[in-house]
Amino acid sequence: MKRIVIHEEHCIGCRLCEVHCLVQHSKSHDIIKAYRRERTELMPRLIVEESGPVSFALQCRQCDEPACLEACISGAMHRDERTGAVVCDESKCVGCWMCIMVCPAGAIRQNTLGTRIASKCDLCYGADVPACVAHCPNGALTYEEVLERNGGEA
Amino acid sequence: MRIVIIGNSATAVGAIESIREHDQGAEIMVISEEGPMIYSRPMLSHYLAGEIDRSRLAYRPADFYTRHHVALITDDPVVAIEPAAHQVTTSTGKVIAYDRLLISTGGQPIVPPVPGLDLEGVFTFTRQRDATRLARYLEGQGEQRAVVVGGGMIGIKATDALIKRGVQVTMVELAPAILAAALDDTASAMIKRLLEGHGVSVRTENTVTEIRGDGDGRVSTALLKDGTLVDCEAVVFGIGVRPNAGLASAAGLQVNRGVCVDEYMRTSDPDIYAAGDVAEAYDLVVDMNRTVAIWPNAYRQGAIAGAHMVGVSRPDPGGVAMNTVEVMGVPAMSIGNGNAPEEGHDILAQIDERAVTYKRLVMRDGRLIGAILVGEIDRAGIYTGLIRNKIDVGQHRQRLLEGHVSLLSLPEQYRKHVVQGAGIEV
């Protein structure tokens, strides 16, 4: 399946990926409205890792055998039938944080701004190119066919 | 080929999804003593608290069995397994033949034999019907006071749900501290203070020795070991579960505490598998087989058994004991051997009493083997990954403790591996 590939040597930590992730998952899809009115319940679904000169944007790694899926007690975490992506059905999630306890990349976050939900990347639900990749000015994120990814299972 | 699965919870779902991933043709039959709904046991506390309605207890949609072409027998427990004849018998006398059998009978709640168990108002807390009965019973009571027996994960979850309903709770725990199996003294004391702050009376080194009723056969008082009498309308047993291994023993399978299995979840009979709370599978932290009744293990072991039944060999890398509880919004996690003693271990700890946050990392031979987190649990899975993969964190140990853990706190090679998977360089 197509997965997001991180090129940390190209990342300058500008965080445009965060901005566009948030806008993409807003109701208005408008950068001003999303930040002014919808921010109370929205948070970016990726994490910008930064330490000194090194930075990169981290999204759900889309593991072949996702630990979050086996740990999810509500059945919210599932594989989307159409896109094959591991996504969280936020109407089912109860915010128990089992997924957070098992994700080896730490790519799932608590969203307690509205109802408690586990917040994670959904690959922009079947978009040709996810918003973070499309808006990265430096090619630090690409969207490519990656055959296997075992998510930290050495 | 016909695969018969006893039980319809996480293990069965893991097995069915895994079988259908590899094999569309195999006949699958599920036999359950409960109803057709596949519900989430760990969510019963959310249901009891009134946070979700009954429909949201569903772990998989109602059409799960039809969509996976699974035949279903419900409300009819299996009463015997005959390995030689390759058949099982149910309580209503149905005899069902199998080629491969999966025993996923889970656990049964531990209830000590004290006088008064037959009174109205005595409950366990592991099945949907228990939680529904308890919720209905409380709705019919004017004053709501409950004694929760057990200060472990189940007891805490029941207590948290009850206090959210406005019930006055007395918690009794036999051990000197609550959550002693998962937490160290510091974390345990933090949770105890949180409970007490919400009006819970926590009585350690104590238990219920007798339940007394009023004239109408309803619970009125619990007598504790130390002689105290506690007035209450309900007594809830949340001590824990023991493996429901009676069927397996009676069938002559090798059973210790749980049913003994190999890395494919096969029992001592090559056509019979066991997985989930009933099975004694490999725990990679303690490096031995043992029963660990947690949801992720149940699902994974079911998936491994299912795959192997249809010819796909995916050995179990082993489980890690872990759990999470929350008391009035403050989360606590225990991963692996988080409460290991200081002796013989390298321990890093950080506490902020005012913010109610605590972190305890346990290392042995430069490798993380356990973690306890209270309050601040962001990205806890990074620790789980280090434990599972037995990564040498020697030079990075301090960075794992300070501030927020991130992938940049990890050894570079492991970080690259987590980010991009095997064989691909960042």
In a domain, B426, yes or no: no
| Alpha helix stretches (DSSP H) within B73-168 | 128-139, 153-164
| pTM recorded for the entire structure | 0.95
A73 in the same domain as A34: no
Same domain? For B137 and B230 the reply is: yes
Question: Residue B424: what pLDDT?
Answer: 41
Is the pLDDT at A150 greater than 80, yes or no? Answer: no
Res. B193: pLDDT tops 50: yes
CA B344 to chain centre: 29
Nearest to A94 among B51, B380, B420 (CB): B51
Domain end position, chosen among B251, B275, B309: B309
The distance of A37 to chain B (nearest Cα, Å) reads 26
Claim to verify: residue A26 and residue A72 sit in the same structural domain = no
To the nearest whole Å, the CA of B239 is away from the closest chain A CA by 21
pLDDT per position as a tens digit, B207-228: 999 999 999 999 999 999 999 9
Cβ(A142)–Cβ(A4) below 8 Å = yes
Mean pLDDT throughout B251-257? Answer: 98
Is B283 found in the same domain as B191?
Answer: no
* Whether residues A1 and A52 fall in one domain: yes
Q: Which of B212, B239, B266 is the last residue of a domain?
A: B239
Q: In what order do the strands lie in the sheet with B2-6?
A: B70-73, B27-31, B2-6, B100-103, B272-274
Of the two residues B268 and B419, the one the predictor is more confident about is B268
Q: Can you say whether the dihedral through the CA atoms of A25, A31, A34, A40 is positive or negative?
A: positive
Radius of gyration of chain A (CA): 15
Q: Give percent of chain B above pLDDT 90.
A: 91
Q: What is the pLDDT of residue B397?
A: 87
Q: What is the CATH number of the domain that holds A46?
A: 3.30.70.20
Q: Tell me, what's the pLDDT at B425?
A: 44
A94, B331: Cβ pair inside 8 Å? no
Query: Scanning every residue of chain B, which has its alpha carbon at the shortest distance from the alpha carbon of A69?
Result: B296
pLDDT(A152) > 60: no
Nearest CA in chain A to B391: A154
> Same structural domain for residues A4 and A32?
yes
- Residue B327 backbone phi and psi in degrees, to 5: -115, 110
At B56 the pLDDT is 95
B223 and B249 share one domain: no
Give dist(CA B66, CA B84) in Å, integer.
30
Domain edge (last residue) among B187, B218, B239: B239
Bridge-partner residues for B372, per DSSP? B334, B360
Distance CA B284, CA B271 (A): 25
The reply to whether A154 falls in a domain is: no
Point out the least confidently predicted range of B129-138, B146-155, B241-250, B416-425. Answer: B416-425
Mean pLDDT taken over chain A: 93
Contact A74 B40 (CB under 8 A): yes
pLDDT in tens, B279-331: 999 999 999 999 999 999 999 999 999 999 999 999 999 999 999 999 988 99
Q: Which positions ≥6 away from A54 have C-beta within 8 Å? A: A8, B408
Predicted local confidence at residue A88, as pLDDT: 97
- Residue B420 pLDDT: 80
- Residue B285 in tokens: 């932290």
Establish if B387 belongs to a structural domain. yes
**Looking at the structure, do residues A98 and A129 belong to the same domain, yes or no?**
no
Q: Which of A133-137, B239-243, B378-382, B421-425 has the lowest mean pLDDT?
A: B421-425
| Closest chain B CA to residue A5 | B420
Number of domains in chain B: 3
Question: Cβ B388–A70 below 8 Å, yes or no?
Answer: no
Asked if residue A41 and residue A73 are part of one domain, the reply reads no
Residues A100 and A130 occupy one common structural domain: no
Tell me: pLDDT of B158 over 80: yes
Domain extent, residue A114, equals 64-120
Give the pLDDT score at A39. 86
**pLDDT tens track for A16-49:** 999 999 999 999 999 999 999 988 888 999 999 9
B292 and B372 housed in the same domain: no
Residues B188 and B204 in one domain: yes
- Could you tell me if A97 and A74 are in contact, meaning their C-beta atoms sit under 8 angstroms apart? no
**Interface size, chain A vs chain B, as Cβ–Cβ contacts under 8 Å:** 140
Distance to chain A for B296, nearest Cα, Å: 4
Q: What's the CA angle centered on B220, arms B217 and B223, to 5 degrees?
A: 115
A27 located within any domain: yes
- Look at residue B421 in the predicted model and tell me its pLDDT: 66
Based on the domain organization, do B169 and B262 belong to the same domain?
A: no
Question: Is A148 within 8 Å of B421 when comparing Cβ atoms?
Answer: yes
Instruction: Verify that B103 and B169 share a domain, yes or no.
Output: no
Pairwise CB contact (< 8 Å): B333 & A97: yes
Judge if A113 and A86 occupy the same domain.
Answer: yes
Report the pLDDT value the prediction gives residue B402, as an integer from 0 to 100.
83
Over residues B120-141, the mean pLDDT reads 94
Contact A106 B299 (CB under 8 A): no
Residue B426 has pLDDT above 50, yes or no: no
pLDDT digits (tens, 9 = 90+) for A85-121: 999 999 999 999 999 999 999 999 999 888 899 999 9
Is B320 among the domain residues? no
Q: Which residues contact B15 (CB under 8 A, 6 or more apart)?
A: B3, B5, B102, B104, B275, B302, B303, B305, B306, B309
Whether A70 and A27 map to the same domain: the answer is no
Residue A153 located in a structural domain: no
Q: Per the CB < 8 Å rule, is A104 touching B388?
A: yes
Name the burial class of residue A17, with classes exposed (0-12), middle (13-18) and buried (19+) by CB atoms within 10 angstroms of its CB: buried
Alpha-carbon distance of B267 to B265, in angstroms, equals 6
Residues B226 and B250 in one domain: no
Query: In this complex, is the C-beta atom of A142 within 8 Å of any C-beta atom belonging to chain B?
Result: no
How many alpha carbons lie under 13 Å from residue B101 in its C-beta half-sphere?
28
What's the domain range around B228?
122-239
In this complex, do A51 and B406 lie within 8 Å of one another by their Cβ atoms? yes
Which is it for the CA torsion B3, B4, B8, B9, positive or negative?
Answer: negative
In a domain? residue A52: yes
Query: Chain B: nearest CA to A31, how far in angstroms?
Result: 27
Tell me, yes or no, if A102 comes closer than 8 A to chain B by beta carbon.
Answer: yes
Mutate to test the interface with B, among A101, A115, A119, A148 (most CBs of B within 10 A): A101
Looking at residue A148, what is its pLDDT? 78
The burial class, CB within 10 Å (0-12 / 13-18 / 19+), for B274 is buried
Task: Classify B328 as helix, strand or coil.
Answer: coil
- Helices B185-197, B153-164: crossing angle, 10 deg rounding: 20
- Is the pLDDT score of B343 beyond 70? yes
State the pLDDT at residue A151. Answer: 62
Q: How far is B288 from chain A (nearest CA, A)?
A: 20
Please check whether residue A102 lies inside any domain of the structure: yes
What's the pLDDT at B359? 97
**Same structural domain for residues A33 and A85?**
no
Nearest neighbour of A104 by CB, restricted to B14, B42, B418: B418
State whether A75 and B60 contact (CB < 8 Å). yes
Domain count, chain A: 2
Q: What is the pLDDT of residue B329?
A: 87
pLDDT number for residue A126:
86
Question: pLDDT tier at B423 (50, 70, 90 boundaries)?
Answer: very low
